[in-house]
Amino acid sequence: MHIGFIGLGNMGAPMARNLLKAGYTLSVFDLNTQVMEALAQAGALSAESPTAIARGNADVIITMLPAAPHVRSVYLGDDGLIQNVRPGVLLIDSSTIDPHSARDVAAVAAQHGNPMLDAPVSGGTGGAAAGTLTFMVGGSREHFERARPILEAMGKNIIHCGDTGNGQVAKVANNMLLGISMI
């Protein structure tokens, strides 16, 4: 299976490394070319843009981006993923964003024929490196099961939270409880 991965920051890069360790073919993109070069040395294929990943032969595309505006831009922009990806490719966004943005992007993806899951994570950079993240996943049960083996390469706890956007709802609740316990 070929996976495209966009967003190789503190969380995305170790997640991508774990996909490589699990034996997946991986195409990667990030604005930071040094991180892309390091992953290429580990066996990933470097892409010149998110559009190149979308137009490639990925079966699944995962994004791990800083915030909702980045997610909307990468997916819905003038030359975004949805305009360029072939129907049927599973889209997984692991960014932590608001549930409304997750639902909006997934609705546009569905109109294009692409199933989409929101799958934010908990566990920090240590969990990303160790492959012990918790994924809180929103989307259909069918697409969740399709994504499960991929997510298990990066995480220890893979939890289906219900319909689209509910992964983000669970993440918000998780962050609130964490904040309360820290106070």
CB 22 within 8 A of CB 30: no
CB 36 within 8 A of CB 49: no
**Eight-state DSSP code of residue 44:** P
Q: Which of 17, 143, 160, 171 is catalytic?
A: 171
Token pair listed for 174: 């998780």
Please count the other Cβ atoms lying within 10 Å of the Cβ belonging to residue 55.
15
* Exposed/middle/buried for residue 60 (C-beta within 10 Å: 0-12, 13-18, 19+): buried
How many residues can be counted in the chain?
A: 183
> Is 21 a residue of the active site?
no
Q: Which residue has the tokens 């979308």?
A: 54
Active-site residues: which are they?
171
